[in-house]
């Protein structure tokens, strides 16, 4: 497995971050999140980056982070932003797992959180639900094309998905 990293890919709100933390705990690895890296690099929030500098600027930062991950990160669980797959060649960073779900299950998952409002607010591409659903449908084949492994997540909690991945990849 390249660099021995595991990459968690999927649409916004599918639960990549919590799953990364769960998997990291269970496999004694470190969890890294590309949005967190960009926020510290820019010393501001994703929401403000989109608003002040635009999406293209954000995508360029993602490419920079991808180069750094490929060169410098090993043995880690990496959760990536929903559009990060566009950097291309994710396989060079690690084993790519597509966390597949339905739009309704994702909304259900977000709405079940205590901080649902802030989870929605902080995501610029999750403001208009019609547009977000369309974006998810457009991305699905691209996620599939970028994935080494597909895991269905609807109705499962992080611990169950982590167990499934540990079993599948023999971690
Ligand atoms: C985006 C997903 C977000 C974040 C940014 C853009 C996308 O990450 O990178 O708001 O294009 O799908 P999450 O998938 O962690 O919400």
Nearest CA residue ID for atom 4, ligand 1: 81
Measuring CA to CA, how many Å separate 5 from each of 25, 32, 63, 75, 114? Answer: 15, 10, 17, 5, 31
pLDDT for res 1: 62
In tens, the pLDDT along 38-94 reads 999 999 999 999 999 999 999 999 999 999 999 999 999 999 999 999 999 999 999
Per-residue pLDDT band at 132 (split at 50, 70, 90): very high
133 CA to centre of ligand 1 in angstroms = 14
Counting from 1 in the atom list of ligand 1, the atom nearest the Cα of 126 is 10
């Amino acid at each position: 497995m390249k660099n021995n990293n595991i990459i968690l890919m999927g649409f916004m709100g599918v639960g990549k971050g919590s799953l990364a933390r769960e998997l990291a705990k269970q496999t004694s690895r470190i969890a890294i999140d590309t949005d967190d890296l960009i926020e510290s690099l820019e010393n501001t929030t994703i929401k403000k980056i989109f608003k002040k500098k635009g999406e293209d600027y954000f995508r360029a930062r993602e490419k920079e982070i991808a180069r750094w991950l490929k060169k410098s990160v090993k043995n880690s669980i990496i959760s990536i932003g929903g559009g990060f797959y566009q950097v291309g060649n994710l396989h060079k960073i690690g084993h790519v797992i597509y966390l597949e779900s339905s739009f309704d299950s994702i909304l259900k998952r977000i709405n079940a959180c205590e901080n649902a409002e802030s989870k929605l607010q902080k995501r610029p591409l999750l403001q208009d639900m019609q547009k977000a659903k369309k974006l998810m449908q457009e991305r699905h084949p691209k996620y599939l094309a970028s994935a080494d492994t597909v895991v269905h997540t609807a109705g499962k909690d992080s611990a169950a998905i982590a167990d499934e991945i540990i079993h599948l990849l023999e971690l």
